[in-house]
Structures are given as structure tokens and as C-alpha cells.
């Protein structure tokens, strides 16, 4: 299984490497107010991918923070409440 994963990673790497080699021609990205960016196409695609990842993570942060706070409150509530097995074991020891 470990070798299969390495083979898959190598295949993905060489596919992306071939993509980069085949897309070295310059392209121009036109922004607002006449500004432009001239770069190889592979860098433009990489920048768009990175921007998408950053925006996706930023979109996830509020929900992640909400779940983290809820988990912290649940842990604090569980730590302060008596454990249900404590009362069972206490009643068993009282009977002996």
C-alpha cells in the first residue's frame, strides 16, 4: 500500500510537471484601471489556485472557530459534572 501511494504521488507530480513545461508561454492578465500582469501561464494558474485555497480557508474560519468554542464549552461542562459511573461505584462500595 505504501508503494502504491508513492506511485500515485509520483504520477501526480510528473503530470503537473509536464503541465508546467507545456505552458511556459507568457500571458497577460488585465486588471482594473489598465494595470496588467505578464507572467508564464503556469504561474497564473498557480496563483489562481493559491488564491482559491486562501479564500476557501478564510471562508471556513468562522465555522471552525464556532465549533472550537462549542467543543471547549462541552469539555469544561463534562469536567465539572460528576461522571455517571462514580455514583454506581459508590453505591456498590456502600453496599459491601
**What is the spatial distance between Cα 82 and Cα 50, in angstroms, rounded to a whole number?**
48
Nearest Cα to Cα of residue 48 among 69, 39, 95, 82: 39
Nearest Cα to Cα of residue 27 among 17, 14, 18, 40: 40
DSSP state of 78: H
Q: Quick check: pTM over 0.95?
A: no
Mean pLDDT of 16-26: 82
Residue 89 banded pLDDT, cuts 50, 70, 90: low
28 bridge partner residues: 38
Instruction: Give the model's pLDDT for residue 75.
Output: 86
Instruction: Give the model's pLDDT for residue 31.
Output: 86
Task: With H, G, I as helix, E, B as strand and everything else as coil, classify residue 24.
Answer: coil
**Is the CB of residue 69 less than 8 Å from the CB of residue 61?**
no
Centroid of chain to Cα 78: 28
Largest interatomic CA distance in the chain: 88
Amino acid at each position: 500500500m505504501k508503494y502504491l501511494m508513492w506511485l500515485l504521488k509520483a504520477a501526480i507530480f510528473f503530470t503537473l510537471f509536464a503541465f508546467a513545461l507545456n505552458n511556459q508561454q507568457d500571458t497577460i492578465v488585465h486588471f482594473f484601471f489598465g494595470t496588467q500582469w505578464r507572467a508564464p501561464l503556469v504561474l497564473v494558474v498557480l496563483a489562481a489556485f493559491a488564491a482559491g485555497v486562501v479564500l476557501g480557508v478564510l471562508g471556513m474560519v468562522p465555522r471552525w472557530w464556532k465549533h472550537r468554542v462549542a467543543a471547549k464549552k462541552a469539555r469544561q461542562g463534562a469536567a465539572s459534572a460528576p461522571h455517571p459511573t462514580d455514583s454506581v461505584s459508590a453505591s456498590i462500595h456502600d453496599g459491601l
